[in-house]
Chains A and B, each alone.
Chain A
Amino acid sequence: MSGDLPAVQPPCGVIRSRLAAVPPSAGAARDGGVSHGQPRNRMRVAGRFSSLCLLAFLAAGEAAVSGAEADTATPPPQQNNERAPSAAYSHEPDCRTVQGHAATGNAAQEERPEEKMREYKDAYHAPVRVVFRGDTGAYLDIVMLLAALGSGLFLTLRGMATRALVVQLIACLAYFGFVRGGCVCPIGAMSNALAALTTPEVLGLTMLVFLVAPLAVALVAGRVFCGTVCPLGAWQQLVWRLGKPLRLPQWAHRLIRLCPLAMTAAVVWSAWKKDEPLICRADPFVPSFRAARSGLQSLANRLANRLANGFDEPGWVFAGDATTWLVFGVTLLICFFIALPFCRFVCPYGVLLGIFSLVASRRRSVDQDRCVQCGACAKVCPTGAIGPDKGHAFQVSMAACVQCGRCTGCCPTAAISCPKAR
């Protein structure tokens, strides 16, 4: 699937004419579509290795979840209320209850023979439930996030091969989006963190890690989370890589960057004044995540029930209504023509990551001695993060760059480094 995607953007004619001035070593690196100074094969092997590691993690995670299935044959969790309904699922406490009634009640004590009880016990099967998100699931989420961030950081720092990146994106979309169901994402965790200032119990450990870990990585190498881990970003990037994005002028990109600032203000206000995560309502991709998670859960329940009790759970579970699905479809369509619309028009967490990325220690930068100012990087950049400054020297804005690595891959003179320490 990923093989269909072009590894590098073919340089335009202007660039070709200038290539004569380029040293041959740079030309060799250009063919690889990877950063200069790195042998092509080693990069590929490294990329493959890291994506394999990620896939192995994913498989291990799913195995752990399905392993938990067997354990959840015991009664699933109950709700906390003062009535303490101990007998909602399993028949064992149920029978105890009935025996209790028999002991205290004075009517028809002898009319309840033991075989009746046994019959009733045999007739009732406690349904098997697969709980996707117990405490184990929450810790698994944290481990997966750290693994994905580590893998993304590795890919970014080493100058990612497109194929490895696409594998990483698909894996992250599959786990953080479809298996995990999208919630809580770091974008929503922003609101929770703000709301937690007044009511601390709304911020769980998972939310805290999902909020803090991407920011910590941003201090190292910029918005690695946006480009390699975020499931919303993954949807957009995958469609963008297949799509035909329109080229916007630089001033339009600059104007667009103001939109999420307004959104950030709105989200902060909403969390502060009304205790509501506003951004969760603006998330266009969430119906796909919820539907996938419901479907997987339903499937798991069916399998578990069939194995344990010999019957299926009837019905299929859906999530989301027509409006949300319509919004999802339209957003994907927009992604086809405008690169990363949600990230650039809406995402308040991107603003936060951008602020942290401004001071990142490892920065993507243009080597001014090598740059021939062909502008190929500015054409492929999805966020307009790269462009000529006042002195006509090309610069990368770390605040806007989502570390997709396309500029590094397309530069005919290999002048754009992957993030490196100064």
Chain B
Amino acid sequence: MRGAKPLLLVEDNPDDALIIKRALAQLGLGEKMVHAPSAELGLIHLRSARKEKPAFILLDLNMPGMSGIEFLQTLKNDPGLATIPVIVLTTSNDRQDILQSFELHAAGYIVKPFDYETAVRALKIIDEYWNLNHLPAFHT
């Protein structure tokens, strides 16, 4: 179960970050989200000893600097972070991106919905799903 654990959003696009923030607020999950505007900052957050590890990560793929795929690679090679589920949330429906994400053990792959209501529904389902699941982060 996710419980009171936060979730981490790794997203460079401010509009998309705004959409997810508002959708989470609407779902009553607003305070539990940490937003990293780049993959690098996301890693710094995850590796900081004082910060609570998130229940799961929402990850954008197309970002300047470190890409989402590189972030995923780094994460899965880090024993301390490899067990955190990562749900890819991206505009790309490229077959290569989907394949690579799942090869790197992504827990899900969602193409960003165009309209807000669909985005809210998608996030609601993600939250419900990860509330049903037992997560490693809850036990550490």
Q: Does chain A bind chain B?
A: no
Interface residues of A (CB under 8 A from B): none
Interface residues of B (CB under 8 A from A): none
